A and B are shown apart, each in its own frame.
Chain A
């Protein structure tokens, strides 16, 4: 049987990349779920564009406080050592390389690591928010997304066709089907979902994949 990771599980896999002591920013939508999956024994400092460093997990309904939110307008919980700052300081932090990891959603990623995550045909008014700044400034860019569109078209392509967020910025792609690393040699298929083979993943990918020597099932 072929399985697909659901959004929570993709977020869980992405959070596995958070190293101890890292400063991490979570983008709009699915990446926000990563706040609930910090690996045990690791300390992660979550940064959000609206001016907060060191918040905890997403808040439950009873804890909701709209003066304690992340950039996706989701209420978050407080942790000791947390601090606040304004938007200009927040983006100094982001552009200046002080954020170690950012997890972003995407419409498309190219084989060179170009990212398209803010605009698509027929929607000229959707904005990039802080996505361009994060894609350029963060040391490591992780993309979480579904492997294909609803119509089954690949989202990982030789060239992006949607407006770019930034060029050559993505390091790792985590989808419902695979974990793919972007290297100088090309796209390296590292992990695949239960029940899938490398040729089957290649068939739903719009760029050439190189199978890693130690290709394995997605590790959670």
Chain B
């Protein structure tokens, strides 16, 4: 673990992400909890052939205008840039009028692979990756296309399927406050997938609204212990 985890800016934080890397990206949908400054830095950095693990594929800047006046950036920028080869997540696209995301358009053109994972299974596979477990049996997906190719087991008369852990090279997450050791607290529903992904990658990079000194966060309310965090960037909100 590096002694000094604080880096100067988002560009520096993502500079060593290579082509072909597997990257977890925190957040949930388009708002609240997405490490958007790290995502934009990764878009500028230009690494390609990436595998992304995230809940949603984002709507992208172009389509975002129909949701919020003036538009906004989300994970969609990495697909618009053509940086992604594979997406693992629960909502690659929404069910509205197509296409609802740049990811859906690329998938329809055969340019990107999608591994569809039910949302709770996604969270648990990531938790297994962070926690050193080899997988788990879940009833979710049994009797649907999700069970295809997976080991099945009947436990107490109920059908379960085996799901395997997910682990990444990098995890990009968002928190509200960090101390310089990397202890994290979150704000509201911006917590979501962020604490789950912390530690499920070789290098976890967190973007925070505010950086404080050790001792300034109440140890009773720390959500992510610092051992899971490798790099911290402060981006005042």
Q: In chain B between 14 and 28, which residues have their CB closer than 8 angstroms to a CB of chain A?
A: 28
Query: Closest residue of chain A to B92, judged by CB?
Result: A125
Q: Chain A interface: which size bin?
A: 35 or more
Interface string of B175-190 (1 = CB under 8 A from A): 0000000000011111
Q: Mark out the residues of chain B between 87 and 117 whose CB falls within 8 Å of any chain A CB in the assembled complex.
A: 89-95, 98, 100-101, 103-104, 107-108, 114, 116
CA distance in complex: A70, B28 (Å): 10
Report 21 cross-chain contacts, Cβ distance below 8 Å, ordered by A residue: A49-B120, A50-B32, A69-B32, A69-B189, A70-B189, A84-B188, A84-B189, A87-B119, A91-B124, A95-B138, A125-B92, A125-B93, A126-B94, A126-B95, A126-B100, A127-B56, A130-B119, A131-B118, A132-B121, A166-B140, A167-B144
Q: Given the complex, which residues of B lie within 8 Å of A69, measured CB to CB? A: 29, 31-32, 189
- A: residues with CB less than 8 A from B are 28, 48-52, 65-71, 73, 84-88, 90-91, 94-95, 118, 120, 123-133, 136-137, 163-167
**With A123-B98, A127-B89 in contact, is A91–B189 under 8 Å at CB?**
no
Contact of A125 with B31 at beta-carbon distance under 8 Å, contacts A50-B189, A67-B187, A69-B189 already known: no
Q: If A69-B32, A133-B118 touch, does A167 touch B145 (CB 8 Å cutoff)?
A: no
Query: Would you call B93 and A126 a contact (CB within 8 A)?
Result: yes
Extra 13 A-B pairs, beta carbons < 8 Å, given A67-B32, A87-B196, A125-B108: A50-B32, A71-B29, A86-B191, A87-B28, A87-B123, A91-B123, A125-B103, A126-B92, A126-B93, A126-B94, A128-B119, A129-B118, A132-B118
Residues of A contacting B56 with CB < 8 Å? Answer: 127
Which B residues contact A (CB, under 8 angstroms)?
28-33, 55-57, 89-95, 98, 100-101, 103-104, 107-108, 114, 116, 118-124, 126-127, 138-146, 186-196, 223
A72 to B93, alpha carbons, bound, how many Å? Answer: 13
**Does A65 contact B144, Cβ atoms closer than 8 Å?**
no
CA A87 to CA B122, docked complex, whole Å = 9
Residue of A nearest to B125 (CB): A88
Which chain B positions have C-beta within 8 A of A87?
28, 55, 119-120, 122-123, 192-193, 196
Q: Whole-angstrom distance between the alpha carbons of A15 and B98 in the complex? A: 30
Q: Is the CB of A129 within 8 A of B90?
A: yes
Least CB distance from B40 to A in Å reads 17
Instruction: Quote the shortest CB–CB distance from B7 to chain A (angstroms).
Output: 24
Contact A136 B188 (CB under 8 A): no
- Least Cβ distance of B223 to chain A in Å? 7
- Give the contacting residue for A86; candidates B93, B122, B145, B196; CB below 8 A: B196
B31/A51 in contact, CB under 8 A: no
